Amino acid sequence: MLVAGASLSLLAPVASQASDVVNVEEMNSYARSQSKSSRLDSKTFINEVSEDLAILKGRVDGLEVKQNEFEAGGFSDTTTMDGKVIFDIGAVDYSLSSETKTESTLFGYSYTANLNTSFTGDDNLYIRIKTGNHGSWMTDKTYGGYLGSVGKNSGALTVDKIWYEFPVGDNNTVWVGPKIENYYMHATAPSIYKPITKQFSLGGNGEAYGASTDTGAGWAYKADNGFAVSSNIGTKSKTTTSGTDTGLLSAESKTSWATQVGFTKPQWSVSALVNQKYNGWSDTYYHSLQHGPSSSNGNFSSVGLRGWWRPLETGSATPSISLGYDSTTYDGAPAASDSSDAWFAGLTWQDTFQADDKIGVAFGQPTTNEDESTDPFAYELYYSYMVNDSVSVTPTVFGGTDRSGTAGGDVFGALVQTTFKF
């Protein structure tokens, strides 16, 4: 009893202090009042949950809008892009003192981006964007120095090629575009030689296969056994002497109509092409003159024969071989100069010293009229080696004798070409 009395005497002050700090009666009264005014049931939190869901839904909708805005500014899932940058450093030497083009060392570049978009899985919308700063002998057709890598427009990006192609049935393809060249629509590849100077592309880029970028359309049929036939038209509808558009396939527009028949197997190919050109069409890189006979009426027909063969295995002493021959007849020209011819040979050795390297040699006679007193000759030699999967370096020499069609019009050039692919 003494212990109990002592304990009670100790707890009494604590209870007194608690009652001073917290009014227990008021707390009980507040609790009773709350229990009368509201009670917890199944509807207690409905409004709060609904508000939270509405806020969350609004945020999700906002994210979807932002995602759609991002996708609208991006590429289609079926669009691919690849590109390359090429550096060319070189110089030339002309034997004629009358040749006024610079012989100084030049540094030119080109940038190319290729965009391919399919809408059905079988069709393709192709766009090539290109620019560069090549000039002088790097764009000269008379002496054969025009490089296949040439880029112009002084660094301004422009649409260089654009066309749409689509299949018709299992073996037919149709092309149409405002910027396309004939040779993109041929059914048979005329050559497998890869040149540095553009004169040696297409098995001799002369009267038969020479082309120009402008409005065009074409069709090609490829059979399963290797036989192929194609026909296409290119028209310079915006190139006139008066500065006005002539329109598509008009009587005044410069036009190139090419029809090709070929047969291709894995190791070899042969083809023949007839190209009829009207109204002064002339854009050839494999020519001893800038144009055909001045007395011609501007119309001519060319026949181009092409063939190539390659060995079963690379890395041997046997090269792949590409051959070409052109014969042209000019309308309205004198009998002594109403025709011309040209020939080409290209040899390629692959994987000779290391994997993916390439040695190329090409030579031949540029398009030469019968009344010319000279026999022009052109050549190039290069070795291309891969630094890695994306970078190649190609030292090259090129030149010719009487190359311009003038006696003594010789040229010798050398350059180093570096290609970056991405």
| Continuous segment of H or E residues that includes residue 4 | helix 2-21
Q: What is the pLDDT of residues 191-209, one digit of tens each?
A: 999 999 999 999 999 999 9
Average pLDDT, the chain: 84
User: Looking at residue 151, what is its pLDDT?
Assistant: 94
Task: Please report, rounded to a whole number, the percentage of residues in the chain having pLDDT higher than 90.
Answer: 61
φ, ψ at 302 (rounded to 5°) = -125, 145
Q: Indicate whether 65 belongs to any domain.
A: no
Q: Indicate whether 356 belongs to any domain.
A: yes
Q: Helices H, strands E: what count in the chain?
A: 3, 16
User: Looking at residue 56, what is its pLDDT?
Assistant: 60
User: Looking at residue 304, what is its pLDDT?
Assistant: 97
Residue 25's contacts (CB-CB under 8 Å, 6 or more residues apart) are none
Which pTM value belongs to this model? 0.79
| CA-wise closest residue to 151 among 364, 419, 380, 353 | 419
Task: Please report, rounded to a whole number, the percentage of residues in the chain having pLDDT higher than 70.
Answer: 77
Q: Is the pLDDT of residue 283 over 80?
A: no
| Continuous segment of H or E residues that includes residue 107 | strand 106-117
CATH number at residue 184: 2.40.160.10
User: Looking at residue 52, what is its pLDDT?
Assistant: 59
Q: Indicate whether 47 belongs to any domain.
A: no
User: Where does the pLDDT of residue 394 fall: very low under 50, low under 70, confident under 90, or very high at 90 and above?
Assistant: very high
Q: Indicate whether 89 belongs to any domain.
A: yes
Which alpha helices (H) appear in 22-163, and where do they start and end? 24-37, 46-72
d(CA 186, CA 259): 8
φ, ψ at 74 (rounded to 5°) = -105, -175
In Å, how far are 132, 192, 199, 277, 303 from 340, measured between CA atoms? 34, 25, 16, 15, 11
d(CA 174, CA 392): 34
| CA-wise closest residue to 404 among 363, 369, 380 | 369
d(CA 259, CA 304): 10
What is the extent of the structural domain holding 159?
84-421
Q: Indicate whether 396 belongs to any domain.
A: yes
Q: Indicate whether 179 belongs to any domain.
A: yes
d(CA 59, CA 244): 57
Q: What is the pLDDT of residues 300-339, one digit of tens each?
A: 999 999 999 999 999 999 999 999 999 999 998 888 788 9
Number of folded domains that form the chain: 1
d(CA 382, CA 418): 12
d(CA 398, CA 412): 6
